[in-house]
Structure 1
């Protein structure tokens, strides 16, 4: 069986869950290995400028120094915010990322037990939706973990999306929790 050189972020997540890590721990580990540059990455640039549709690798991508699970849309295998991309002959700019992939061999070196793990057949994105009564407590737990660092709407949506909670439901939930004032900068 052929094993691709690169795998999307959501496949890497399933790889770590398959070896027994909790989903939260697996996400944290992936954030750390990306931030610490322990795994080679490549991205498919989104947007509509001349760089859109190009695939660029590590030296052409600048990601935040610190990454946390809410920085990613795990279903779509991409960062929520734009990352700087460019190359020596073209301008560097903050661009949307359509797809983030990790080098498979780097993951296997970092997590050797994952080479033989059978990936869960049902992708995380297709898991059943969270029961209605569980949605608000899960959102409250997420917000409490964030402390004074109130997430953006996009971060709230990305986090709850993994539980099958849609954008409209998250927007309704946000009305019951503290929000940053319009134009207020993020803390930290």
Structure 2
């Protein structure tokens, strides 16, 4: 819950810094703001991730949404059902998942979030072309999400994470 409050606080800070609510927004900015309330959509998405419920998270994606975990050998998945299955696998591989945002930056229809997430995998897992054997430790992994929204739902999400940190906390990386 702490990570959700922190994200909500960062959303308010990021929204102010990005010019949301400015007295004289540009016409394009005003149009984008009217089309969707991006900070509220991001907050709903953060709450879904905090719930660790893959179906709840995927429900906030468009039918044609694309999720790409950008690491070697990990192809993008397309569609809400495929995304729900991929998120379920991610959460099963890391049931202790939680995250702490470092920065949140808004664009007209997207957000860039730099964060750290907790890993404490209970068993070996595969990401991309590599199999990781956990050592039974808990550690933090830096990551960046670039999330594009359409009509208040995620239409594309690209996640970049530091696999070197995961490898450094694993045995027999193959």
TM-score by length of 1: 0.28
More strand as a share of residues: 2
